[in-house]
């Protein structure tokens, strides 16, 4: 039976199973939907069991489909790894570069990848953006070449390389009552409506630790699942938050947000590239890791992600007044 399977059939089945959609799989692979459907049906005929079933409008994997999907993912991962290993043997920086990053890192990591691919056009980056809990799972399971995060777990044996500062700032709407105040005490800020990431977020942990060191506790007014959602909520006047400066470039430039001049801020943290201790990195991954360490500080300064902030930094473009925002 296995002698009749083709790699193309496995690739198509994996895409359909991952997306739970023939249409999305076809779009990803630049094929027509009927062509994808035909190849998956042929694979089912070879296996002798249905792999995918339709329940209402949803596509679900059968028990056989779950087993074939797990094996297919492992096979395709092995083949992608083989491409990298062959490139290593040739001494060439090429092939897949697989990383997972916490959501706050999505604002700067594409810039690093873009510069790296300019130098090494045969590299194929695979970037997964997810929350810290999921990144830790991927790290423990050794899914990626390495991961990027701002808070290092203390209960894992890891190799850690810092590559760029991570400044955390208090952010508000430009018309917030505190926007023009200088040296705002923490005791005043903590009374505001705070918009926070989910529990376990590295940014939230850093902010909570800072306030706790001063005997203060931040009660979330709202919990949101991404920095983008928090920024939108701030612009809607729902409250204030602590965010990474690297995530605010466009909003500060457009004058949609303002950085409050709060005593003790910005918090100086660090971005780290992390993998399991003892893990062997291929040539492509190790070259990119060296690139991060070398170029991180300079690119951070040029982009304004790690620039030293002037007290009461405000956007350069005036905004319409929306009334008092973010107060309890």
Same domain (yes/no): 65, 209: no
What confidence score (pLDDT) does residue 5 get?
85
On whether residue 120 sits in a domain, the answer given is yes
- Which residues 6+ apart lie within 8 Å of 35 measured at CB? 26
Co-location of 54 and 203 in the same domain: no
- Residue 307 is predicted with a pLDDT of 58
Give residue 92's pLDDT: 82
CATH of the domain at 160: 3.40.190.10
Does a structural domain hold residue 316?
A: no
Which helix H or strand E contains 97, and what residues bound it?
strand 95-102
> Please, which residues have CB within 8 angstroms of residue 234's CB and are 6 or more apart in sequence?
171, 172, 173, 195, 240, 241, 257, 325, 326
Report DSSP letters for 219-271, one per residue: PEEEEESSHHHHHHHHHTTS-BEEEEGGG-HHHHHHTS-EE--BTT-SEEEEE
Chain centroid to CA 328:
32
In the three-class reduction of DSSP (H, G, I as helix; E, B as strand; rest coil), residue 83 is classed as helix
Asked if 167 and 313 touch (Cβ cutoff 8 Å), the reply is: no
* Token code pair at residue 51: 């792999």
Could you give the maximum distance between any two Cα atoms of the chain, in Å?
73
Domain of residue 27, residue span? 2-83
Domain assignment of residue 323, yes or no: no
End-to-end CA distance of the chain: 67
Residue 324 domain-assigned? no
User: Are the CB atoms for 244 and 166 separated by under 8 Å?
Assistant: yes
257 and 277, same domain (yes or no): no
Alpha-carbon distance of 245 to 96, in angstroms, equals: 30
Contact (CB, 8 A) for 238 and 193: yes
* CB burial readout 115-138, b (16+ within 10 A) else e: ebeeebeebebebebebbeebbeb
CB atoms inside a 10 Å sphere around CB 70: 12
Q: 10 Å Cβ neighbour count for 217?
A: 8
In a domain? residue 321: no
Residues 154 and 285 in one domain: yes
Same domain, 129 and 198: no
Number of independent structural domains in the chain: 3
Whether 66 and 198 share a structural domain = no
Percentages (nearest 5) of helix, strand, coil residues in the chain? 45, 20, 35
Within this chain, do residues 26 and 68 fall inside the same structural domain, yes or no? yes
Report long-range pairs for 131-140 (Cβ below 8 Å, ≥24 apart).
131/102, 131/103, 131/198, 131/200, 131/201, 131/225, 132/102, 132/200, 132/201, 132/202, 133/200, 134/100, 135/100, 135/101, 135/102, 138/100, 139/100, 139/274, 139/275, 139/276
Q: d(Cα 20, Cα 32) in Å, to the nearest integer? A: 16
Task: Let me know if residue 322 belongs to a domain.
Answer: no
Residue 325 pLDDT? 42
- Per residue of the chain (328 residues), give pLDDT as tens: 566 789 899 989 998 998 899 998 888 788 899 999 999 999 999 999 999 998 888 899 999 999 999 999 888 878 877 776 776 667 788 888 999 999 889 999 999 999 999 999 999 998 999 888 889 999 998 889 999 999 899 899 999 999 999 999 999 999 999 999 999 999 999 999 999 988 888 889 889 999 999 999 988 999 998 889 999 999 999 999 999 998 998 999 999 999 999 999 999 989 999 999 988 888 899 999 999 999 988 888 887 777 554 444 443 322 323 333 444 4
Residues 173, 227, single domain; the answer is: yes
Q: Are residues 178 and 259 in the same domain?
A: yes
Do 153 and 174 fall within a single domain? Answer: no
- Whether residue 149 is found in the same domain as residue 199: no
- 159 Cβ neighbours under 8 A, 6+ residues apart: 274, 275, 276, 277, 278, 279
Residues 58 and 96 in one domain: no
Does 224 map to a domain? yes
């Amino acid at each position: 039976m296995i002698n009749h399977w083709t790699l193309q059939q496995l690739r198509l089945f994996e895409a359909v199973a991952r997306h739970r959609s023939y249409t999305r799989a076809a779009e990803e692979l630049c094929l027509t939907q009927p062509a994808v459907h035909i190849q998956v049906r042929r694979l089912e005929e070879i296996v002798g069991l249905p792999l995918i079933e339709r329940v209402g409008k949803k596509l679900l994997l059968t028990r056989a489909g779950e087993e074939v999907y797990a094996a297919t993912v492992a096979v395709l991962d092995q083949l992608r790894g083989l491409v990298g290993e062959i490139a290593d043997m040739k001494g060439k920086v090429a092939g897949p570069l697989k990383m997972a990053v916490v959501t706050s890192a999505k604002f700067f990591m594409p810039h690093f990848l873009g510069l790296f691919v300019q130098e090494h056009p045969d590299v194929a980056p695979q970037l997964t953006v997810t929350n810290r809990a999921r990144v830790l799972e991927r790290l423990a399971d050794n899914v990626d070449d390495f991961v990027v995060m701002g808070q290092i777990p203390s209960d894992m044996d890891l190799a850690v390389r810092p590559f760029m500062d991570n400044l955390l700032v208090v952010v508000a709407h430009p018309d917030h009552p505190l926007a023009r105040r200088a040296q705002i005490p923490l005791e005043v800020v903590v009374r505001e409506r705070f918009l926070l990431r989910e529990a376990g977020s590295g940014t939230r942990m850093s902010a909570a630790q800072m306030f706790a060191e001063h005997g203060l506790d931040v009660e979330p007014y709202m919990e949101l699942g991404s920095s983008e959602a928090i920024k939108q909520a701030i612009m809607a006047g729902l409250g204030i938050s602590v965010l990474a400066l690297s995530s605010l470039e466009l909003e500060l430039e457009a004058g949609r947000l303002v950085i409050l001049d709060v005593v003790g801020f910005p918090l100086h943290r660090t971005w780290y590239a992390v993998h399991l201790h003892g893990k062997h990195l291929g040539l492509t991954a190790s070259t990119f890791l060296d690139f991060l360490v070398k170029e991180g500080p300079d690119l951070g300064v040029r982009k304004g992600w790690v620039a030293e902030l002037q007290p009461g930094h405000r956007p350069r473009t005036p905004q319409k007044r929306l009334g008092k925002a973010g107060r309890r």
